[in-house]
């Protein structure tokens, strides 16, 4: 009997210890470091499943002539030697929309331009910001309504600024002036076309957009709105003249220049701003407290 009681006491003690451990675990209030930046990998080198292509003249989702490819852990644009340009511009859209964020892409231009490509498209791609919903694109639309952080590689001869601004279907305010032409050069130096370059964008809704190279702001503008033309084939329902652009999708281009992307990353600046929440981040600038976790 004493032996049985001793065993019973032993198991009772173990049970108390287990309950205590679970209680302590449940009371653990350790938070994620609010200052640690949590970058989202839009492209991680393993899949293109989170991206959807759209080429002029093709339905959404059709990777025309397999021009966007995943190979050797790179997201690339490629053209076959027999492939000739036929006004078939393409874009590859990330699946989610964003409003306040930092975007960072590391890329390089490679090989020769597609046969028949326009001269301005030599070593030319872009990070298209605040893109219209890809489901709203016209079948024959050439460029999305968007703001383009232009990626340009030098030709080895001429000076050529990088991270310029182009405005397909949009207008912006630069300084205190409404800018309605299509493109404007940045303050950057020339970057050789065959080296890895990291370009960044700071996007704060419609209040501020900056293009950044080597931690230097080379282009800055505000208050983007729909307008200005410089696109064709769009659906009239998507082209709402004067409407502010406060958010949108992100895309990259296929416009006759072969290119590799090593990484495309995004730091969301919109999220939980309640300091009592476990997922509060000190670097958020736009509150979305519906995402708070306690």
Instruction: Name residues whose C-beta falls within 8 Å of residue 49's C-beta, 6 or more positions apart in sequence.
Output: none
97 vs 5, residue with greater confidence:
97
pLDDT tens string 79-136:
999 999 999 999 999 999 999 999 999 999 999 999 999 999 999 999 999 999 999 9
13 pLDDT above the threshold of 80: no
The per-residue DSSP string of 218-278 comes to EEEEEEEEE-S----S--GGG--TT-B---BEEEEEESS--EEEEEEEEEE-EE---TTST
CA 104 to chain CA centroid, nearest Å: 7
Local structure of 4: helix, strand or coil: helix
pLDDT tens string 171-212:
999 999 999 999 999 999 999 888 999 999 999 999 999 999
Domain that holds residue 109: 40-271
Q: Is residue 201 part of a domain?
A: yes
Helix H or strand E segment including 10: helix 2-26
- φ, ψ for residue 276 (rounded to 5)? -80, -15
Q: Is residue 66 part of a domain?
A: yes
pLDDT tens string 232-282:
999 999 999 999 999 999 999 999 999 999 999 999 999 999 999 999 999
Q: Is residue 209 part of a domain?
A: yes
Report d(CA 209, CA 100) in Å as an integer: 10
Q: Is residue 217 part of a domain?
A: yes
CATH of the domain at 180: 2.60.120.560
* Amino acid 193: pLDDT: 84
Q: Is residue 6 part of a domain?
A: no
> Phi/psi class of residue 218: alpha, beta or left (left: φ > 0; alpha: ψ in -120 to 50)?
alpha
Q: Is residue 285 part of a domain?
A: no
The distance between the two most distant Cα atoms of the chain, rounded to a whole number of Å, is 97
Counting the structural domains of the chain, the total is: 1
| pTM (two decimals) | 0.88
Both tokens of 258, joined, read 């072969």
The per-residue DSSP string of 150-203 comes to EEE-B-SSS--BSSEEE-TTEEEEETTEEE-SSEE--S--B-BTTS-EEEEEEE
Q: Is residue 284 part of a domain?
A: no
Least-confidence region, from 30-44, 152-166, 233-247, 272-286: 30-44
Report d(CA 271, CA 252) in Å as an integer: 25
Q: In the structure, what pLDDT confidence band is assigned to residue 29 with cuts at 50, 70 and 90?
A: low
């Amino acid at each position: 009997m004493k032996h049985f009681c001793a065993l019973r006491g032993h198991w009772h003690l173990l049970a108390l210890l287990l309950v205590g451990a679970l209680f302590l675990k449940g009371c653990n209030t350790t938070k994620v470091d609010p200052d640690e930046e949590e970058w989202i990998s839009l492209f991680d080198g393993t899949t293109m499943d989170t991206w959807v292509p759209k080429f002029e003249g093709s339905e959404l989702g059709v990777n025309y002539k397999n021009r966007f490819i995943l190979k050797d852990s790179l997201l690339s644009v490629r053209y076959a030697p027999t492939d000739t340009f036929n006004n078939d511009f393409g874009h590859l859209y990330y699946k989610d929309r964003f409003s306040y964020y930092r975007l960072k892409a590391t890329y390089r231009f490679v090989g020769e331009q597609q046969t028949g490509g326009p001269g301005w498209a030599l070593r030319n791609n872009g990070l298209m910001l605040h893109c219209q919903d890809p489901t709203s694109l016209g079948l024959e639309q050439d460029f999305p309504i968007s703001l383009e952080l232009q990626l340009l590689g030098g030709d080895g001869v001429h000076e050529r600024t990088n991270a310029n601004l182009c405005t397909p279907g949009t207008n912006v305010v630069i300084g205190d002036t409404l800018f309605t032409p299509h493109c404007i050069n940045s303050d950057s130096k020339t970057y050789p076309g065959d080296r890895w370059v990291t370009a960044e964008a700071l996007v704060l809704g419609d209040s501020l957009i900056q293009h950044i190279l080597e931690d230097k702001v080379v282009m800055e503008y505000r208050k983007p709105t729909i307008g200005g033309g410089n696109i064709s084939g769009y659906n009239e329902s998507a082209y709402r003249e004067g409407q502010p652009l406060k958010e949108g999708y992100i895309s990259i281009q296929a416009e006759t220049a072969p290119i590799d992307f090593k990484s495309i990353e995004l730091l969301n600046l919109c999220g939980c701003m309640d300091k009592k929440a476990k997922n509060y981040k000190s670097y958020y600038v736009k509150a979305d407290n519906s995402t708070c976790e306690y």
